[in-house]
Structure 1
Amino acid sequence: MFIEPSLAGGRRGWIEVICGSMFSGKTEELIRRLKRARIANLKVEIFKPMIDTRYDVQHIVSHDESRIISTPLENSQQILLLAQEVDVVGIDEAQFFDGELPEVCDQLALRGIRVIVAGLDMDFLGKPFGQMPFLLAKADYITKLHAICVKCGNIANYSYRKSKDSHTVLLGETDLYEPRCRHCYYEGVE
């Protein structure tokens, strides 16, 4: 469904993508931007995939325990229904949403909404993850964050899975994953 840009009431929307490996601060940065928007008295709606219940069912929570209330959703089309008369939409863990998310973000931006999306750009195999490559292609602004490699201390942009489980989606924290630099990820430095 195409929405005429003129229906946005003169406001210009855009898409911001915050990406990186696990433990790089993506959710922390998303929360920071959303709180700043609220300080500016903008109407903000925040969404996350229903599958993400690691810290809390309704809040998005960063590893440093910053939190903000969100609405868990089964699919990205629900965002279009729930994001009425808002200025800013925040979306966390975008890699877990369905294939419609890039189009949904486009629709929101055409409505004049600032869309801020956070997610893993690569899965544990080092491959592009879910809809993130498509969101990165559509983004007006991209922020790539890095963690610190737990093996050597260099910047890390890979999420190394410590488990032998081969499922692409396996929710976990430091019990299952650790950030690693390219060398330590591929060389298996122990």
Structure 2
Amino acid sequence: MFLESAINPSHRRGWIEIICGSMFSGKTEELIRRLNRARIAKQRVEIFKPSIDTRYDETNVVSHNENSITSTPVQASSQILIYANNVDVVGIDEAQFFDDELVSVCNKLAGSGIRVIVAGLDMDFTGKPFGPIPDLMATAEYVTKVHAICMQCGNLAHYSHRKTADEKLVMLGETESYEPLCRECFTKARGK
């Protein structure tokens, strides 16, 4: 499905891959898997995450089941262009927390022959498109939507329901603050 073979340096072609879905759906786990495969293929890999994401580690990208990979935290997406030198693959985690310039950054990287793998929430806690992810999905060559399991009924979940009354858009949290829900359970929980 994905072109994970070694890139021929004389004929490099870049592209963008998006891994999106709700919280607890395995987005970061899949990102780490793809980046590790690129390293096995002897490709030069660089990983970035927003500096505000310090839930598990200040620098490493860490999945909910504690797999991790070394990364570079950045405050703005434009910094990725500064640090992504002499690489074949760029990974970006928690992309929903980046500014809208991330779309342009990813397209510049892909245009220069780099494989760009981006993971992030496609919807916020209200069920609305989140940050630059929807625009990235529109320009990406590959989009993978992963699903969690609904914590209410056991069906596939693709909504991140916030269990607290906090209404600010960005609120870092785990199972104490969020739970994945299916459409029906999410609609009930939101009181619609």
| Pair in the same fold by TM > 0.5 | yes
* Counterpart Cα distance in 1 of 2:26 and 2:142: 17
* Counterpart Cα distance in 2 of 1:19 and 1:28: 11
Please tell me whether residue 174 in structure 1 is matched to residue 170 in structure 2: no
Aligned to 2:158: 157
Q: Which runs of 5+ in 1 are unaligned?
A: 1-7
- In the TM superposition, 1:1-190 aligns within 5 A as 10-188=11-189
TM superposition shift of 1:187: 1.2
Superposed CA deviations along residues 67-109 of structure 1, whole A, max 9, x for unmatched, are 0010000101111111111000000000000110000000000
Q: Which amino acid aligns with 1:107?
A: K
* Counterpart Cα distance in 1 of 2:33 and 2:16: 16
- What SS class does the counterpart of residue 90 from structure 2 fall into? strand
Superposed CA deviations along residues 6-33 of structure 1, whole A, max 9, x for unmatched, are xx95310000000000000000000000
- What SS class does the counterpart of residue 117 from structure 1 fall into? strand
* Counterpart Cα distance in 1 of 2:156 and 2:14: 32
Aligned to 1:3: none
* Counterpart Cα distance in 1 of 2:52 and 2:10: 35
Aligned to 2:6: none
Task: Give yes or no for contact 1:9–1:112 (8 Å, CA) kept in 2.
Answer: no
Scaled by the length of structure 1, what TM-score is found?
0.94
Q: Which runs of 4+ in 1 moved over 6 A?
A: none
Task: Give yes or no for contact 1:120–1:132 (8 Å, CA) kept in 2.
Answer: yes
Q: Which amino acid aligns with 2:44?
A: K
Q: Which amino acid aligns with 1:80?
A: L
Superposed CA deviations along residues 142-172 of structure 1, whole A, max 9, x for unmatched, are 0000000000000000000000000000000
Count of residue correspondences:
182
Scaled by the length of structure 2, what TM-score is found?
0.93
TM superposition shift of 1:188: 2.2
Q: Which amino acid aligns with 2:168?
A: H
Q: Which runs of 5+ in 2 are unaligned?
A: 1-8
- What SS class does the counterpart of residue 89 from structure 1 fall into? strand
TM superposition shift of 1:180: 0.3
TM superposition shift of 1:36: 0.4
* Counterpart Cα distance in 2 of 1:166 and 1:21: 18
Aligned to 1:5: none
